[in-house]
């Protein structure tokens, strides 16, 4: 066993028959043929196939000692900076064939599983903790090249600071019973991206100031576990035509609400439960955040390159490159792109071995990137709209070009550098990227990927080592006062 290919992936997912609700109906038949999911599933197969591409196999996989089956490289626990760069290269390949559009490409969650395993000792000998289950998950995941999703966001019942979320009937998913077989979970989580489209689901505590003991758990279960339902939002696939909807026809991932209807989680799948402190520790001290950020920032860089390409091609198509304000807008994208790249590089250069001998990227530069991207991505999307201007709403369809008005379109929608059909194709891409419901969901997704931007900013402030800079001032001014920073 080891890496699978696209076909194997599809067959496995189809076989699961997960309970997925879409527009009032439970999906029946092959999920890979459903209009809302076939595009994204096909995109995923292209990722799995890439692992088997002879030209890239070496860069996409690694071998465990004494094993001869190749393993997907996103599972590699890095021990050196060289390993980190290998990981990055692999992730870049995957990101590039989906242009950074697939938020939950398999490497994201594989990386999470790898990081959990790397830090599993953190849970050793603690109450209600089962580090061995993490280890066995990690091994099974590598062996079968499993795919995962996870779900963080709790229902938006009341966002007030004072709201404690105590209600009689569970809303947020929680443990309602512990028995000899395992935990019984009831309640919901919002927003599992690709919910129902993966082999398994990881469910883990979110960091909340006052975490309820019943919500202090982490486990993984197969997507087709009894009582587990995925309720989809409206689909943002515009249609099948890749001319009309070059992105949504391929990369619409779907988000779903995950309902736990008295779901039984067997003990051998529980990482920890009923342990608020361990839950908090596991999120904050394991290498999870660091490696997840490392994967995400890498993907976001590839996506920004895609945006830069679109923006520049628009500029060339309508020949506006000479305008100072256009140059300024493109420079903004370039500055954002280079900044993200520099921060990613710094995180790798400053990487250090953690207490469990794992080579962990430096967190601060990644945290800075996570503060920057949610603000620049929406701006870059806006820049593309500003360049496209009225062209963004002059978008006839593929069928128009195959009708008797084709000649009119060819004459009136051409530009000096581009024929009408290509030009409309390009503008439809720009529209699908920034203005279709697929595009705006991408914007919202990047805006909130790392969580609430305001909390990200506060958290950076709190974590940042400031004492040394404050000392410089105290020394310069020769102040008498005694204080402690950081």
Contact between 36 and a second copy (CB under 8 A)? Answer: no
Report the site for a second copy in 322-341 (rule: CB under 8 A).
322-325, 327-328, 330-331, 334-335, 338-339, 341
Three-class SS state of 172: strand
The residue (of 240 and 452) whose beta carbon lies closer to a second copy is 452
- CB within 8 A of 195, min separation 6: which ones? 20, 149, 151, 201, 223, 230, 232, 254, 255, 256, 257, 258
Q: Is 364 in the site for a second copy (CB under 8 A)?
A: yes
Q: Does 378 bind a second copy (CB under 8 A)?
A: yes
Residues 163-182 that bind a second copy (CB under 8 A): 163, 169, 171
For the CA atoms of 41, 49, 51, 120, the dihedral, rounded to the nearest 10 degrees, stands at 30
Stretch of 51-59, 262-270, 353-361, 462-470 lying at the interface with a second copy (CB under 8 A): 462-470
- Contact by Cβ (8 Å): 314, 387: yes
CB closer to a second copy out of 113 and 258: 258
Query: Which of residues 222 and 378 has its CB atom nearest to a second copy in the complex?
Result: 378
Radius of gyration of the chain (CA): 24
Q: Given phi > 0 = left and psi -120 to 50 = alpha, else beta, which region is 194?
A: left
Name the segment binding a second copy (CB under 8 A); options: 37-45, 69-77, 149-157, 283-291.
149-157
Distance CA 423, CA 108 (A): 35
Residue 435 as a binder of a second copy (CB under 8 A): the answer is yes
Q: How far is the CB of 485 from a second copy (least distance, A)?
A: 7
Options 164, 213, 353, 389; binder of a second copy; rule CB under 8 A: 389
Contact between 409 and a second copy by CB under 8 A: the answer reads yes
Shortest gap between Cβ of 383 and a second copy (angstroms)? 12
Q: Does 357 bind a second copy (CB under 8 A)?
A: no
Q: Which lies closer to a second copy via its Cβ, residue 117 or residue 395?
A: 395
- Report the candidate in 177, 181, 178, 220 with the shortest Cα–Cα distance to residue 201: 220
What b-and-e string marks burial along 216-233, b requiring 16 or more CB atoms within 10 Å of the CB?
bbbbbbebebeebbbbbe
**Stretch in the footprint of a second copy (CB under 8 A) among 64-72, 114-122, 289-297, 361-369:** 361-369
Could you say which of 27, 117, 310, 358 contacts a second copy (CB under 8 A)? 310
Positions of E strands within 327-419: 352-353, 359-360
Quick check: 188 and 155 in contact, CB under 8 A? yes
Tell me: does residue 156 bind a second copy (CB under 8 A). Answer: yes
The three-class DSSP label of residue 393 is helix
Out of 107, 199, 215, 305, the only residue in the binding site for a second copy (CB under 8 A) is 305
When asked if residue 207 is in the footprint of a second copy (CB under 8 A), the reply is no
Q: Compute φ and ψ for 23, nearest 5 degrees.
A: 50, 50
Among 14, 316, 354, 356, which residue interacts with a second copy (rule: CB under 8 A)?
Answer: 316
Q: Which of 16, 191, 276, 283 binds a second copy (CB under 8 A)?
A: 191
CA distance 19 to 222: 12
Give ∠ CA 67-70-76 in degrees, rounded to 5.
Answer: 90
Asked whether position 52 contacts a second copy by CB under 8 A, the answer is: no
Coil vs helix vs strand at 164: coil
Distance in Å, CB of 45 to a second copy, minimum: 18
Query: Which residues between 92 and 111 bind a second copy (CB under 8 A)?
Result: 99
159 binds a second copy (CB under 8 A): yes
If one asks whether residue 439 binds a second copy (CB under 8 A), the answer comes out as yes
Q: How far is CA 68 from CA 64, 190, 277, 408, in A?
A: 7, 40, 40, 61
The mark string for 220-259 relative to a second copy (x by CB under 8 A, - otherwise) is: ---------x-xxxx---------x-x--------x-x-x
CB 336 within 8 A of CB 301: no
H or E stretch at 193: strand 182-193
Give, as one character, the DSSP assignment of residue 464.
S
Contacts of 446 (CB under 8 A, 6+ apart): 300, 303, 373, 374, 377, 378
Residues 120-139 that bind a second copy (CB under 8 A): none
28 binds a second copy, rule: CB under 8 A: no
Interacting span for a second copy (CB under 8 A) from 86-94, 141-149, 206-214, 303-311: 303-311
Residue 20 touches a second copy, criterion: CB under 8 A = no
**Minimum distance from residue 297 beta carbon to a second copy (Å):** 12
């Amino acid at each position: 066993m080891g890496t699978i290919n696209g076909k194997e992936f599809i067959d496995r997912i189809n076989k699961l028959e997960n309970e997925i609700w879409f527009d009032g109906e439970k999906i029946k038949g092959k999920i890979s043929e459903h209009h809302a999911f076939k595009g994204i599933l096909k995109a995923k197969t292209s990722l799995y196939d890439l692992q088997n591409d002879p030209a890239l196999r070496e860069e996409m996989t690694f071998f465990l000692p004494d094993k001869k089956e190749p393993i997907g490289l996103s599972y590699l626990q890095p021990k050196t900076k060289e390993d980190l760069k290998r990981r990055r290269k692999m992730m870049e390949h995957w990101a590039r064939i989906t242009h950074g559009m697939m938020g939950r490409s398999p490497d994201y969650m594989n990386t999470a599983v790898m990081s959990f395993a790397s830090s599993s000792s953190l849970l050793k000998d603690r109450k209600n903790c089962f580090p061995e289950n993490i280890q066995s998950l990690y091994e099974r995941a590598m062996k079968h090249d499993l795919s995962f999703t996870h779900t963080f966001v709790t229902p938006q019942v009341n966002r007030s600071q004072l709201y404690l979320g105590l209600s009689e009937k569970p809303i947020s998913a929680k443990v309602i019973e512990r028995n000899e077989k395992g935990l019984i979970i009831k309640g919901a989580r919002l927003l599992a991206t690709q919910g129902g489209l993966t082999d398994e689901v990881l469910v883990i505590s979110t960091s909340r100031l006052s975490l309820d003991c019943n919500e202090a758990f982490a486990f993984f279960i197969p997507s087709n576990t009894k009582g587990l339902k995925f309720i989809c939002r409206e689909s943002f696939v515009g249609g099948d035509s890749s001319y009309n909807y070059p992105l949504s026809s391929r990369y619409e991932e779907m988000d779903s609400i995950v309902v736990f209807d008295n779901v039984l989680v067997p003990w051998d799948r529980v990482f920890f439960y009923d342990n608020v402190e361990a839950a908090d520790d596991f999120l904050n001290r394991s290498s999870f955040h660091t490696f997840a950020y490392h994967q995400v920032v890498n993907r976001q860089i590839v996506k920004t390159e895609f945006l830069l390409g679109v923006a520049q091609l628009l500029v060339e198509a309508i020949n506006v490159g000479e305008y100072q304000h256009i140059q300024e807008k493109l420079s903004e994208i370039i500055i954002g792109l280079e900044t993200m790249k520099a921060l990613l590089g710094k995180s790798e250069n400053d990487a250090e071995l953690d207490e469990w001998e794992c080579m962990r990227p430096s967190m601060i530069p990644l945290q800075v990137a996570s503060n920057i991207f949610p603000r620049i991505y929406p701006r870059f999307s806006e820049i593309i709209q500003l360049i496209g201007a009225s062209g963004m709403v002059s978008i006839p369809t593929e069928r128009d070009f195959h009708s008797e008005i084709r000649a009119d379109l060819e004459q009136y929608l051409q530009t000096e550098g581009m024929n009408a059909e290509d030009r409309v194709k390009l503008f439809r891409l720009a529209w699908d990227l920034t203005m279709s419901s697929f595009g705006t969901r991408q914007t919202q997704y990047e805006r909130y990927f790392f969580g609430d931007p305001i909390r990200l900013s506060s958290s950076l402030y709190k974590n940042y080592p400031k004492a040394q800079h404050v000392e410089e001032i105290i020394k310069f001014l020769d102040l008498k006062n005694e204080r402690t920073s950081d």
